[in-house]
Structure 1
Amino acid sequence: MNYTIKKATLEDLEDTANLFNLYRIFYRQESDLEKGKAFMKERFLNSESDIFLAIIEGKAVGFVQLYKLFHYTKLQKQWLLSDLFVHPDYRGKGVSVALIDRSKQWAEETGACGLMLETEKTNEIGNTLYPRCGFEYDGAHNYYYWWK
């Protein structure tokens, strides 16, 4: 299946928001297209993330969202691959691998030391996909959260 990967802009807000809403539903969140759209619009307007869309026959079918971080030991920029989603109708066609490859290319283009990501232990698809794409599992660290 032919697809293209493009860097999303504010003009792609509708497509991005629709995919983001489906992504949130995948992670057991309530559907809230308008709130998700506002969230994504802020990321675009404030240049707080970089988003790439997978396009098949003119339709956005997947996305990846990257946030800039800084690595304390490498003393370089790195990218957090925060969100990756492919519409269920287009899975198994290499779209997620293409989005990851584009993220790796973006890391190189921006002089970053690499990518990091986190996924749920129960995400069987992701936990199979990421090692296949060259990511190494880091079992040495615990991740903790503080929510207000």
Structure 2
Amino acid sequence: MNYTIKKAQLEDLDEAAALFNLYRVFYRQQPDLGKATAFLKERFLNNESDIFLVIANEKAVGFVQLYKLFHYTKLQKQWLLSDLFVHPDYRGKGLSVALIDRSKQWCAETDACGLLLETEKTNDIGNQLYPRCGFERDEMHNYYNWWSQTHNVYL
């Protein structure tokens, strides 16, 4: 399959938001293209994340969204691979791996020490994909969430 990967810009907002909306539906959220668009637009305008789109057949069919973190022991920038999604019609063609590879390249381009990600234990596809792409499961840490009462601004 012929494809390209490009760093998304504000002019790619509509295509990115359509995929982001489908991604949220994958994680059992109600579809809401308007809120997905507003959320990504804010990320673009505030330079809060970097998004890469995979383009096939002249349209965006997948994306990865990265957020900047800082690693406390390596004392370097690190990227959180927050969101990875390929449209169901284009799965099984290596596009997720290509997006991960582009994310690794972004680490080199930005002098970052690596990528961090988390996924649901029930995400069978992701839990098979990530080790194949060189990710190691962290057995040493527990991850906890605290949610403020106003955390659902976009939900």
- Calculate the TM-score normalised by the size of structure 2: 0.95
For 2:124, the aligned partner's letter is: E
Query: What's the CA shift string for 1:19-66, capped at 9, x where partnerless?
Result: 000000000000010001000000000000000000001110000000
Q: Where in structure 2 are the equivalents of 1:77-96 lying within 5 Å? A: 77-96=77-96
Q: SS at the partner of 2:142?
A: coil
Distance 2:15 2:72 in 1: 35
- Distance in 2 (CA, whole Å) between partners of 1:88 and 1:32 is 19
Task: Give the partner amino acid of 1:85.
Answer: F
Please show how residues 112-131 of structure 1 align to structure 2 within 5 Å: 112-131=112-131
- SS for the counterpart of 1:64 is strand
Please provide the CA RMSD for this pair: 0.4
1:71 Cα deviation after fit: 0.2
Q: Which residue of 2 aligns with 1:31?
A: 31
CA distance in 1 between counterparts of 2:22 and 2:83 reads 12
Q: 2:11 aligns to what?
A: 11
**Residue correspondences, number:** 148
Q: How far did residue 88 of structure 1 move?
A: 0.2
The Cα shift of 1:107 comes to 0.4
- Show structure 1 runs of 5+ residues with no match: none
Aligned to 2:5, the other structure's residue is in SS state strand
Determine the structure 2 residue equivalent to 1:63: 63
CA distance in 1, matches of 2:42, 2:75: 28
Q: Return the alpha-carbon distance in structure 1 between the equivalents of residues 3 and 137 of structure 2.
A: 29
Once the 2 structures are TM-superposed, how far is the Cα of residue 140 of structure 1 from its aligned partner? 1.2
Partner in structure 2 of residue 46 of structure 1: 46
Q: Find the aligned partners of 2:116 and 2:135 in 1 and give their Cα distance.
A: 8
Gaps of 5+ in 2: 149-155
How high is the TM-score relative to the length of structure 1? 0.99
TM superposition shift of 1:123: 0.2
CA distance in 2 between partners of 1:140 and 1:61 (Å): 35
